[in-house]
Amino acid sequence: MFEFDQYLGFLLFLLILTIGFWLLIFLTAIIPYWVGGALIERLKEIKEGKKNKDK
């Protein structure tokens, strides 16, 4: 039979695996969206700046 230490080790393994999975989802989905949005906003600001400078 399993001893309590082995059970805790298995739970710790599952916890680390789950945290790693969600971190991977976060890094591959949310961060590129965030960076892309920031880039688009920055380009809009630059465009507005050029427009106001021309006037």
Torsion (CA) 44, 46, 52, 55 in degrees, nearest 10: -110
Q: What is the mean pLDDT of residues 6-29?
A: 94
Answer whether residue 10 shows pLDDT above 70: yes
* Structural element, H or E, at residue 12: helix 4-25
- The pLDDT value recorded for residue 11 is 93
Provide CB contacts within 8 A for 2, sequence distance 6+. Answer: 10
**In the chain, where are the structural domains located?**
27-55
How many whole angstroms separate alpha carbon 31 and alpha carbon 36?
8
pLDDT digits (tens, 9 = 90+) for 35-52: 999 999 999 999 998 888
Q: What pTM does this model have?
A: 0.58
Distances (CA, A) of 28 to 22, 31, 32: 10, 7, 7
